[in-house]
Structure 1
Amino acid sequence: MACRTFEKKIDTDHLRQEVASLAESIAVRAERAAEWAAPRMGRARAEVVKAAKEAHSRAQPVVDEARTRVVEDYAPAAQRAAVAAQAAAGADGGTLTERAQRIAAAAKNAALEIPEVPVKKKHPVLKTLGWLTLAGAAAGAVYVVWRRSQPVEDPWAEEYWADSDEGEAVTVGDAAPAGEAAASNQ
């Protein structure tokens, strides 16, 4: 069987024109797709940011509580268990199994042990004294303000307005009546 080959002449100019028109068509469609997708991507981004902030705000108290428990509860309990296990491992006597059981029991008891927290003294006498001092200072301030708002009268002072009334009466009496003054000017 003989292999048949097709010899067809390819027009490169025509092929280039078709490729150029196809590339132009793809560019136009890509531009339209970008215009369509841009606002949707912006809204999606805003929603993702909003959801991430909301998730962060919901998870933050849980993370804080877990961190507090680790720092205040678990780490000290593990340290107490390690110290107790080390002390139990240092004790001599017994087989290896018995020593391992002693170490495990000591570590378990130390880890489950709740340490006594010292109770702060409240000092009720000092609190009472402080409140009484605060109340006394407030009462003193109120008294000073009240005292300064009262009018000050000097019982020994003369009545200054009595002299001024007499002086005006003398001056008015010495002056010529208004009609005479007008007549003398003419």
Structure 2
Amino acid sequence: MELTKHEITFDTDQLRSEVAALAETLGEQAERAAERAAQWVAPAVERARTGADRLAKETAGAAKEVQERLEVLSEDALARAERAASAARTAIDAPGTVTQRAQRATVAAVNAAQTTAPRKSRRVLKSLCWLTVAGVAAGAAYVVWRRSQPVEDPWAEEYWADSTEDADAE
């Protein structure tokens, strides 16, 4: 059996037009698929964005709260360390052997570090606030009382004076 070569001829113009038609069809289908995907993806992306915004706000709030607590804790730790150092210095300056002074300094430092700082009393501020509230209440009561009092105009004519003059004239 013998293989022969067959000549294959192509009509390049027809091939070009078919490829162009195929490309146009593929472009239209890709465009429709993109529109469908956009209709499905856009709400999902919007939900994800709003969820991310909400989480970012919550995280920022939590971070701010943590920062505030860290500041309070660092201030408290610094105050405790200062009290412990002061108590240790006082114990070391006391008379006694080196061992006794070291033991007293250790005990004093531990006790000072474990105690909490005394809270500041705000009696003056509280008293001032209550006095302000009482003053406002008294002022409001005075205004209400003053407005409830009858008002007499000393220059006004009495309404019955005209009626008696008319009766006398007749």
Residue 115 of structure 1: how far off its partner (Å) = 6.2
Please, what TM-score do these two structures have when normalized by structure 2? 0.55
Q: 1 CA distance for matches of 2:66 and 2:22?
A: 60
Gap change, CA 1:152 and 1:113, over 3 Å in 2: same
Gap change, CA 1:75 and 1:39, over 3 Å in 2: farther
- Letter paired with 1:33: A
- Letter paired with 1:120: S
Instruction: Give the structure 2 partner of residue 22 of structure 1.
Output: 22
Gap change, CA 1:10 and 1:114, over 3 Å in 2: farther
Q: Write the mapping of 1:33-182 to structure 2, written as runs, cut at 5 A.
A: 33-74=33-74, 77=77, 116=117, 118-123=119-124, 126=128, 129-147=131-149, 149=150, 159-167=161-169, 169=170
For residues 22-73 of structure 1, what are the alpha-carbon distances to aligned partners after superposition, in whole Å with 9 as ceiling and x for unaligned? 2112111112112212211221222112211332344343222212123332
Aligned residues: 134
Larger radius of gyration: 1
Residue 12 of structure 1: how far off its partner (Å) = 2.8
Gap change, CA 1:70 and 1:114, over 3 Å in 2: farther
- Letter paired with 1:163: E
Please, what TM-score do these two structures have when normalized by structure 1? 0.52
- Letter paired with 1:160: D
Q: 2 CA distance for matches of 1:38 and 1:18?
A: 30
Gap change, CA 1:30 and 1:131, over 3 Å in 2: closer
Q: 1 CA distance for matches of 2:48 and 2:61?
A: 21
Q: 2 CA distance for matches of 1:136 and 1:79?
A: 44
Q: 1 CA distance for matches of 2:122 and 2:79?
A: 28
Instruction: Give the structure 2 partner of residue 178 of structure 1.
Output: none
Residue 116 of structure 1: how far off its partner (Å) = 2.0
Any idea what SS the aligned residue of 2:117 has? coil
Any idea what SS the aligned residue of 2:123 has? coil
Identity of aligned residues (%): 26
User: Any unmatched runs of 5+ in structure 1?
Assistant: 85-104, 170-186
User: Any unmatched runs of 5+ in structure 2?
Assistant: 85-105
